[in-house]
Structure 1
Amino acid sequence: MPKKARELSATEVRRLTDPGLYAVGGVAGLQLQVAKTGARSWVLRIKIGDRRRDIGLGGFPDVPLTDARAKARALREKIAAGIDPVEERRATRLALKAQTQRLTFDEAAAKFLALKNHEFKNAKHAAQWESTLATYASPIIGKKRVDEIALADIEEMLTRDDLWLAKTETAKRLRGRVEKVLDWATAGGHRSGDNPARWRGNLDARLPNPSKVAKRRHHSALPIDDMPRFMSHLADMEGNGARCLEFTILTATRSSEAKGATWSEIDLAARLWTIPGDRMKAGKEHRVPLSRAAVALLKALPRHEGTDLVFPSARGKALSENTLTAVIKRMDADMPEGQGYRDPNTGGIATAHGFRSTFRDWAGERTAYPGDICEMALAHTIKNKAEAAYRRGDLLEKRRRLMKDWAQFCAEGDTQGSVTPIRAQEG
């Protein structure tokens, strides 16, 4: 049996300054190590199984004698229980290191797209993947680590703003794309377990079958590629109703907001239209950046005596909704059979409100603008309360570039043949 060391006092320990190892007693194997540099640290020398271990317990005097003895006793208790503290520490370090190496979904999606880019049919297909994930997945799961994403997160992503029912095809593509990104992350060791975005035996128990989702009635909207010919035709139409409709489309606003627009709300020099909160659906002031096309339209309009309205009726009042509807119906009637301005999904003639859907489809499918910029352009309310609390600005300058690109598309179509980049110049 080894000789038991005498239990030193705190004062005696402080006096140990010569290089060497000193048994301090109180706990078998506890020693103070004094280096040649004068640095002092605690070491527990102990046998674990057939191996001799020297376990560091911290420096002295940062770790005082009483704490060193307490740590040494705790380690001896673990060893007596069959636990190797050295291996335990190593496993903890590896776990922490692995944790810091785990990817967020946004990071995983970026890596996945970079590796799979050559598999896409063309640049437009790759851009659609990127846009779908950025618009619908990133706001919900983008900042989450891939190993933390659960079924509830995927379900929230697919049902926010009624996406699964309102835009079923988009939601289906989104689910499949997220599933592929998470499969890639699993194969790379960044996560483990079942894929929460899997449909069969998973989401099929939580969401309606997409093939059986009843088609919902929406405002009829014009297909994206029909916009240039529609706008060209609209420019030839006369009257304030046609000009109000044109302005509504160029600003992606609600027709009620455009019909109630006043000159006092518009700053032509700054190319800015500020709609007061009492005229907005959400009750909050909304600033609309005006493209050069929108400003040119306004400058060409006459000012009417007795009213501040930009688009007054013949009686000096705000235009009715029927006025804008009548413009679209006349334009549709002017076209040859099968070439009118109709929504292929509903079969109905396009509506003034439906052009907001066309704008959103164009922004989501033909551009790389982030979803929050597109939603803010439509003055949609941020439903996530935490995000809304931190969102102070309105992304005006970024939206200005978006509206410039929208006006250019309405006039010229998709001249680039793929995705509209976020450009540095203002519109």
Structure 2
Amino acid sequence: MPKIAKELSAKAVRDLKSPGMYSVGGVPGLKLQIAPSGAKSWLLRVKVGDRRREIGLGGFPGVTLAEAREEARETRAKVRQGIDPVEERRAIRQRLKDEQARRLTFEQAFERVMANDGPSFSESHRKQWRRSVELHALPHIGSMPVDEIQMRHIEELLLADDFWREHNKTARDVRNRIERVLDWATAGGHREGDNPARLRGGLKERLPKLSKLDTAPKHYAALPIDLVPSFMADLRERGGMPARCLEFQILTGVRPNEARGALWSEIDFKAGTWTIPAGRMKAGREHRVALSKEALALLGGLPREPGELVFPGNSRRMIGINSTRTIIGRMHTERAKEQEAAGEEPTGYKDPKAGTIATPHGFRSSFRDFAGERTSYPVHVIEMALAHSVGDATQAAYARGDLLEKRRQLMDAWGKFCKEGEAAPAVVTPIRAQEG
């Protein structure tokens, strides 16, 4: 028969000091372990099936002798029932870990998605993602655990303040981004079941049906073609970097943020090009701009401030995002006053269709109208000048070149029009001549 350990009293357990392992009796296999540091802890040695286990029962005196014996009896009872206490504890810890993971909030999940996918976005796309979600999603569901978000929560945020109807394009983007975040959460085991932000078979049946007028994209206010030369003459009279940046943006047909971020290292005066890296382009692809004589002259007349920015603002930082819009607003007000004083209708620099003041981005539309109506350049050359995707994926695969020299002729025509009010003729080589 195995030797039965003497039952120690609580005082005897307290008096044990030397490092080692001591049987305390009362329950077979229950021992007090004393470390060299003097720390005491309870250990139960027991055989589970064919395996010997040493199961920790806590430290002394946090766990008293009586409590250790009671815990040891319960553990041995589980073993008799065929339960492995070690595996049971491991399963409990895993369930707790899983439960904590499932309590991930939507905001935390969003930040994880931005960390994972953000580097693949262009700078402008990344900013759009963050701004739209922070403005329209996080105030409603940001603090909610992802596994508690239901369709009604998404529906409520999309309908709040008539968001779905009044700003449908943005609302659709927000819904899509919420769906993306919740898909990530489901794939990571943070939630289960259907995605509550899914449109088909889900939100589509709950959201108001909108007309084509409601869902039509809202265009940036733009100047009519014939007002561009007088606007540019007015703009050239203005001083300051924001004015020069706006002038350069119009001459090159780029987006406002692309012009604001222009660096001297991207400009090749000899080749007459400006190469914008993929990270600053909306489509995430590098774009070469053919610089017209007017654009090159503008750059040549700029002071070379310390730093890389072509159009530095205060403290040599990038000029403000609204600085060029402010210039247009000021020019509009002054021109409207002049027109009123002359007995004319004070239209200023308004888009007659929109009824609002022209915007920096709207000059891309002015350029597109000019190229389409006042020149005979092919559509794909015009669209490539605007850094738009040309054709479908198959066509794009074969269109390896960027038609730089053809685009240079177009940009020269635009530069001449902006300065003199007339277009240079398009040079179009007949197809038969190309083939011959």
The TM-score, its normalising length taken from structure 1, stands at 0.47
